[in-house]
A and B are shown apart, each in its own frame.
Chain A
Amino acid sequence: MSAGIELENVCCDFGTFRAVDNANVSIKPGEFFSFLGPSGCGKTTILRMVSGFIEPTEGAIKIGGKDVKGTRPNQRPTALIFQNLALFPLMPIWENIAFGLEVRGVDKATRRKKADDLLKLVDLPGAADKMVSQLSGGQKQRVAIARALAVEPSVMLLDEPLSALDLKLRQHMRAELRAIQKRTGVTFIYITHDQGEALAMSDRVGVMSQGRIQQIAVPRDIYDNPVNGFVASFVGENNIFEGDVGPVSAGMAGLSSPHGAFRARIAPEAQGKALKLYVRPEHTTLSKTAAAENSVEMEVTEVAFEGAFISVHGVAAGGKRLSAEVKNDGITVVPGVGEKVFASFDAARALLLPDANVRA
C-alpha cells in the first residue's frame, strides 16, 4: 500500500539557477518524513518533482522502487496537499473528497459512502453537504486531507499544510495529522519551515539550506547533534564562540577564544575545518562563581519571563551577547538586571561545528 521514495543525486535547475542541488534521500514505506528549511531553500521544488509537475534536471526519483521519470502527475501514486488547500469551490464537501474516485469511474453510491467514511476518519462528520466556503480553516484542512486519502495514495505529499492556521489549531492539527498517518500507514512527506512542527511530528527530518540537504536524522539528533552551524541555528538558539581549535582527543577538542579556553565535542567529519562552538541556552547555567571549565563572566541586561522558563540575556567582554534559560521551578535563583554572573556549560553539551554546506 504505502511506498518508499528514493531521490538519487536529484538536481533541479531553473535557467541558470540551481534550486535543488544533488539531493539524496531514501524514505521508507510508512515513514513520516519532513523537509525543513527556510523560505526559498527548494522544499516545494522537491515535492513538485516527486508529484511529477517538474522533472529533475539530473538524477532519478523512485517511488516504490520504480523510476518515475516521464510519468505524469495523474499517473503517480502520490497525492499532493497544497499550502492553500486548493479545494474545488463549486463542489460540496463530499464531492470534493470523492473527486479522485469519480475520475476513476466509481459509482455515486460508493463515492458517497467513501466520502462519509473519510469524513469520520478526519473527525468531520456531518459536513458532507456543506460548501467549501462554509467551513473554517481547520475544517478545510481536514477536507483536503480526506480528499487526498480518498484515492488511497501510496505517498502523501504535504506542502506547509498548516501554515494558514492559528497557533492553537496548528498544534491540534499536528497531533491529528500524525494520528491519521499512523492509522493509514501511508508514507508522508511533509514540508515546513517551522522547526517545532518538523521535530514534533516526524520520524525523520531532512534540513535544507539553499537547495542542499544539510542533514537527515531523527528529530532528537537534529536538535542534539546537528552536523553544522546552519542546522544548529535553524532548529534552536545558540551561544556561539569563535576561536582556534586545538588537538582532538576522545571526540573532544579545545577552543581558544577571546572569551577564554573552552572544551567541546567534535565530530570526526568536522575535523580540519573552520569551526565554531555552539551551545544551547538551556544547556547554559548561571552561577555567582566560575565553574571549573567553560565559564564566561557576563553582565545581565535583560530578564524575560517566558512561562515555563526564564530567559536571561547578558553581555560578556567585547560586547559578546549570551543567553541562558533558567527553569521556572521556584528553586533556581534568577539573577537581576545589572548583576554579574558566570555563564557555564557542560563540555558534553557543546559542539564544534562548521558553517552550512553551501556552494562555493
Chain B
Amino acid sequence: MLDWLSPEAATALMLSLRVSLVATLASLPVGVLVAYALARGRFVGHGLLNGLVHLPLILPPVVTGYLLLLTFGRQGWIGASLWDWFGFTFAFRWTGAALAAAVMAFPLLVRAIRLAIEAVDPKLEEAASTLGASRLVVFGTVTLPLILPGIIAGAVLAFAKAMGEFGATITFVANIPGETQTLPTAIYAFLQVPGGDGAALRLVAVSVAVAMAALALSEWLARRVARRIAGR
C-alpha cells in the first residue's frame, strides 16, 4: 500500500503515527486528572497549574523545544538523572519526539476535557455521594461516562496536533531519519534537497489523508457516544 512512497517517507509516516499515538495515550490519564483538578478543584496554585498547562500554546514551539532540551536533554536537570539511574534518555530518540508532541498537544487535550467536566451538573456528583459513593466511585460511575465524548474529542485533537508538531520536535530531538524524522520534519527535509518536491508532495497528500481519517473517526465515535447518552 505504501510502495508509491519512498522507504524514507514510509518510515516517517509510520514513525509519526507511533509518536502521535503514544503521545496521546500516555498524556490522556494525566490530562483527565489535570482537567478534573482545574474544573472542580479549589486549591492554592490553581492559577499556576492552569498557566503552566497553557504555556506551550502561547510560547513559540522552538522555545518549548529548547526548554525540553534543557530539562530532558542528556545534560538536563531531569534528563541527566534519568540517564544516570535508568540509562534512559529522551534526547534524539523517538520517545523524545513523543514527549515533545505530548507537551505541545496537552493544552488542547486538557481544554476539551475540562469543558466536558464543567458541563456536568455537580448536583449529579453530589447525589451519587449522598447515596454512598466515594469520590473515586462517583468519578468512575457518574462523571467519566458523561465526559467520554469530551475525552474522545480532546484525544483526537491532541493526536492531530501531535501529527503536525514541528518546531518543538526538531529543536528537541532534531531530524534523524528512522528515529526522530516525523511527517512534518520529513517534508521539511525533502524540501531542502533539490528534486525533493515530488516526495514532499506525496507526504503532504498522506498528511491530509491521515488528518481526514482522524476527523472521520472522531465524528463516528462522538455520534456513537451521543446515541448511547441519549439512551437509544
Contact = CB atoms under 8 A, between A and B. Distances in A.
Contacts, number: 72
B170 to A, nearest CB: 44
A86 B121 contact: yes
B85 to A, nearest CB: 40
Interface residues of A, number: 32
A131 B141 CA distance: 16
Interface stretch (B185-193, B202-210, B223-231): B223-231
Given A74-B134, A103-B133, A86 B127 contact: yes
B130 A103 contact: no
A100 B132 contact: yes
B121 A74 contact: no
Contacts of A99: 128, 131, 133, 141
Contacts of B126: 53, 73, 80, 82, 86
A78 B130 contact: yes
Nearest to A100: B131
B145 interface: yes
Nearest to B123: A86
The prevalent SS among residues of B at the interface is: helix
A82 B131 contact: no
Contact of B230 (A74, A88, A133): A133
Contacts of B230: 133
Contacts of B133: 74, 99-100, 103
Q: Quick one: which of A89, A151, A157 has the most chain B CB within 10 A?
A: A89
Contacts of A79: 130-131
B129 interface: yes
A89 B130 contact: no
Interface string A63-76: 00000000011111
20 contacts: A73-B126, A74-B129, A79-B130, A82-B127, A86-B121, A86-B126, A88-B142, A89-B146, A90-B145, A90-B146, A92-B231, A99-B141, A100-B131, A102-B141, A103-B137, A103-B141, A133-B230, A147-B131, A148-B130, A151-B131
Interface of B: 121, 123-124, 126-134, 137, 141-142, 145-146, 228-231
